Amino acid sequence: MILFFALLFVAMAIAGACAFVIFWPLALVHIRDRHPAIGTQLGAGAFLNPTALGWLLRGGYRDANDRNLTGLASPARLSLLTIIIALVLAGLLWALSAVVSA
């Protein structure tokens, strides 16, 4: 039963990844077109750049005071948090199942 719930968390991470792949590129294109200073700060190839992902997780997009950017970056942030939390919880449940079965 524990591994079943771990598998559900993996499925949740996959759902988060699907949302991330939709919203993060849209936010990056908006940044490229409307906020070149932020684009320079995030650097080239920002899709999986740790600096850009940290900026997203910290909510740095709120400083731009752009409702359109917030509308694109907020779901990307939520989906990235979903991926991280779901994978951590799946790993913890897997470790728990290894301890319980031993």
pLDDT digits (tens, 9 = 90+) for 71-93: 999 999 999 999 999 999 999 99
Give me the pLDDT at residue 4, please. Answer: 96
Residues in contact with 56: Cβ distance below 8 Å, sequence separation at least 6, in sequence order? 24, 27, 73, 76, 77, 80
pLDDT at 102 over 80: no
- In the prediction, which pLDDT does 101 show? 87
Which structure tokens are listed for 97?
């199942």
Give me the pLDDT at residue 92, please.
Answer: 97
CA distance 72 to 36: 16
Structure tokens at 30: 């908006």
Output the pTM of the full model. Answer: 0.92
Q: What is the mean pLDDT of residues 2-10?
A: 96
pLDDT attached to residue 41:
95
Q: Is the per-residue pLDDT at 32 higher than 90?
A: yes
